[in-house]
Amino acid sequence: MNLWHCLIDVLPFQWAHYAFMQNALLAILLVTPLFALLGCLVINNQMAFFSDAIGHASLTGIAIGVLLSLADPTWSMLGFALFLAVAISVLRRYSAASTDTLIGLVMAFAMALGVVLLSRGGGFAKYSRFLIGDILTITPREIVRLAVALVVVVVIWCWAFNRFLITFLNRSLARSRGVHVWAVETGFAAIVAAVVAISIPWVGLLVINSLLIIPAATARNVARTTAQYVILAVVFSCATGVLGLVGSFYWGTATGGTIVLAAMALYVVSLFFRR
Amino acid sequence: MTEEPTRTPDKVQHAARHSTDARPCCTRLVGLGVQLGTTTVLENVNLHIHCGEFTAIIGPNGAGKTTLLRALIGEVRHTGQLVFVPSTGTSEPRRPRVGYVPQRMEIDKTTPLTVLDLFAGVQTRRPVWLGHTRRMRDAAGMTLERVRGADLLDKRIGQLSCGQLQRVLLALALSPVPELLLLDEPLAGMDHRGTLLFYQIVSELRLEMDLSILLVSHDLAAAAGVADRLVFLNRTILADGLPTQVLQSPLVRDTFGLDLAGIPPMPTASLSSMPARCCVPEGKTQ
């Protein structure tokens, strides 16, 4: 961590001398590729609504953590998000309702439960900040968590990417090739849920959903092959993340929102370069 | 346009070959049944499919044709047995290795996935986002050559016409060579020329690889035109035999309204009479 601080301190910019900016920069450089990698497959699997639902439901994870008087609600958030991911997957398997409807149902239940639990203790306002998130308050310990998440996702993307790709393209084709379709779908949902849950207190729901969708959607406009798609999504994500962070420093704006606007701007540009 | 361009020579050669073969390999479905919730979709389906045989499953909507395919690829649970019996050796009965050509896939036109990406994704574990090895490229190119699609390797899946896509999926289903090739309504959405080319290639490959093929179709004319054998399925097998025989069955004639349409009791067998329902005509998409 010290090494990183010294390294950034050398940069000839005003923002590079503040510890909170140095931390935030490192967090952004970890979070943006993480979400870009996830986002490519989230779009392929049409799961944008799912990550949104998990994000909203994380409030309930916090409420459960408060009830159990855990010192760090991250673990209860993580547990609850994983529970929801598996629940949605099970419902999809045994219910005739469409996935949209099931996710909507589960989200409504989870959010209502969270609001009820938190309002009883009178702490609703205290915890709602978790949904907005503030990357500038991130601490080295939390950065380590994000780093671990990134490493885990990269390893899984090396090991199982093709199975995800084929399953989301055509379940029957994947099944005929011996892929355990349900395990793959549930596993993917669990990974997305876990990453959303552990990053939400600092990154915020708005930024998570934007970073999942926008860079991958931008890359889709210009990429021809899957390799280009994934690599470009990561590059676009990192670039707009850093741009948004630095921009927010000079303009005195909210970091999350600025990052999202930077990503959107690049998306609009990409529309003119569609292949 | 002449009908059934390759069928007759096929059958002759095929019969000749099998006469020298003491026991051809085959795939057996014994008492196969599928229960979805409280509904019995299939029950007591018994079918022997010999290697080199082209069997078409026909039946009305909701007869369980697609469910049968899904059971064969392992997507839904079934009762009864599905075993592959090889021609030589006395290996343990096991499930056949299937090759599956899905029904027309709903593909987002903008999906950044090339034909080569698809091959690598299905056939290897090396993550596609790291690019492709020379070997993968050559292997996929050779497989595509078999379906006259070597030029499609770097095309995006979304750019392909229906016919091209079905040929690519066929090539994919053929490597490795399957013991049972399943074609799920491959005609749906294909134009006339694409259909002819597809079946011409299937016929050639059937001879070359001694493939067992199971086609599922609701298009009676097309099925009767290409298959050696028709199986009429409606929850269980109700008629099974040569196309001429099955098309004479009163049950089949009634189900498909053949008498109402004034079709005489003989195989219609006319690919040229099939409606062209393609979204994009072959060769007009680039």
B140 against A132, higher pLDDT: B140
Asked if pLDDT for residue B18 goes beyond 50, the answer is: no
Confidence of residue A122 (pLDDT cuts 50, 70, 90): low
* Burial bucket for residue A124 (CB in 10 Å: 0-12, 13-18, 19+): middle
CA dist B116 and B139 (Å) reads 10
What's the pLDDT score for residue B85? 83
Confidence of residue A121 (pLDDT cuts 50, 70, 90): low
What percent of chain A is predicted at pLDDT more than 90? Answer: 59
Domain assignments of chain B as residue spans, ordered by start: 7-107+161-273
Asked if pLDDT for residue B281 goes beyond 70, the answer is: no
**Contact status of B111 with chain A (Cβ, < 8 Å):** yes
B64 against B108, higher pLDDT: B64
Write the residue in B105, B112, B184 that is nearest to A226 by C-beta: B112
The nearest CA of chain B is from the CA of A231 a distance in Å of 7
The nearest CA of chain B is from the CA of A102 a distance in Å of 19
Q: Omega before B176 cis (within 30°)?
A: yes
User: Which chain A residue's Cα is nearest to B182?
Assistant: A176
The nearest CA of chain B is from the CA of A15 a distance in Å of 35
Q: Which of A75-89, A114-128, A255-269, B129-143 has the lowest mean pLDDT?
A: A114-128
What's the pLDDT score for residue B2? 41
Q: Biggest alpha carbon distance in chain B?
A: 59
Q: Which of B9-18, B61-70, B151-160, B211-220 has the lowest mean pLDDT?
A: B9-18
Tokens 């398997």 belong to A93
Would you say B230 and B243 are in contact if contact means Cβ atoms under 8 Å apart? Answer: yes
What's the pLDDT score for residue A218? 96
**CA torsion through residues B57, B62, B64, B66, sign:** positive
- Please state which architecture CATH assigns to domain B7-107+161-273: 3-Layer(aba) Sandwich (3.40)
**Residues A132-180: tens digit of each pLDDT:** 778 888 888 889 999 999 999 999 999 999 999 999 999 999 999 999 9
Using alpha carbons only, give the angle B110, B114, B116 rounded to the nearest 5 degrees.
Answer: 170
Q: Is A176 in Cβ contact with B114 (below 8 Å)? A: no
pTM of the model: 0.86
In Å, how far are A22, A241, B2, B177 from A13, measured between CA atoms? 12, 17, 77, 62
Would you say B26 and B48 are in contact if contact means Cβ atoms under 8 Å apart? Answer: yes
